[in-house]
């Protein structure tokens, strides 16, 4: 079943991958990686609220940074930038200062916030240019 889930994910059949990983998470609850893969598959399928619910079921400290990064990605996709920023900050606090993923996530959020501000106040664009 694990190989099938992996293959579905690699073939970008995220809905079927999510179903397989959900079953694996139920069959092997001690394998928290399956819960993470389930949440990632749900995220890739665009099922954001379900992905967050799956993330909330992961209690492993070893996976905490990955879970926070996934939660940030979900919040970013939902345009909930304050929640995305909070998740990225929490991931940054638990990872090294050179964690490229977290730094890129911070940059993406700042870029999107800046774009929203410029759309709200187009006169700022004239000042900045």
Domain count, the chain: 2
Please tell me whether residues 81 and 45 are part of one structural domain. no
State the pLDDT at residue 52.
98
HEC per residue, 1-64: CHHHHHHHHHCCCHHHHHHHHHHHHHHCCCCHHHHHHHHHHHHHCCCHHHHHHHHHCCCCHHHH
3-state secondary structure of 65: helix
- The better pLDDT of the pair 114, 78 is held by 78
Q: Do 76 and 48 sit in the same domain of this protein?
A: no
pLDDT value for 120: 81
Residues 40 and 95 in one domain: no
What pLDDT, in 10s, does the model give residues 31-53? 999 999 999 999 999 999 999 99
pLDDT digits (tens, 9 = 90+) for 82-127: 999 999 999 999 988 889 999 999 999 999 998 888 888 777 666 6
Domain boundary pick from 37, 56, 75: 56
Q: Supply the pLDDT for residue 10.
A: 98
Mean pLDDT, rounded, for 62-68: 97
pTM, rounded to two decimals: 0.89
Give the residue-averaged pLDDT of 58-77.
97
Dig out the tokens for 95 from the structure. 């990872």
Domain assignment of residue 42, given as a range: 1-56
Looking at residue 84, its pLDDT comes to 97
Question: Residue 25 in contact with residue 35, Cβ under 8 Å?
Answer: yes
Q: Tell me, yes or no, whether 83 and 128 share the same domain.
A: yes
Residue 30: is it exposed, middle or buried by C-beta count within 10 angstroms (0-12/13-18/19+)? exposed
Report the C-alpha dihedral over residues 50, 54, 55, 61, rounded to 10 degrees. Answer: 180
């Amino acid at each position: 079943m694990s190989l099938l889930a992996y293959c579905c994910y690699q073939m970008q059949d995220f809905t079927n991958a999510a179903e397989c990983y959900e079953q694996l998470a139920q069959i092997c609850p001690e394998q928290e990686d399956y819960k993470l893969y389930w949440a990632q598959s749900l995220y890739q399928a665009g099922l954001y609220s379900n992905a967050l619910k799956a993330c909330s079921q992961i209690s492993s400290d070893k996976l905490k940074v990955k879970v926070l990064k996934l939660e940030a990605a979900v919040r970013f996709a939902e345009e909930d930038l304050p929640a995305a920023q909070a998740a990225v900050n929490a991931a940054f606090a638990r990872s090294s200062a050179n964690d490229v993923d977290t730094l890129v996530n911070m940059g993406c959020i700042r870029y999107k916030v800046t774009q929203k501000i410029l759309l709200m106040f187009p006169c700022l664009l004239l000042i900045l240019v």
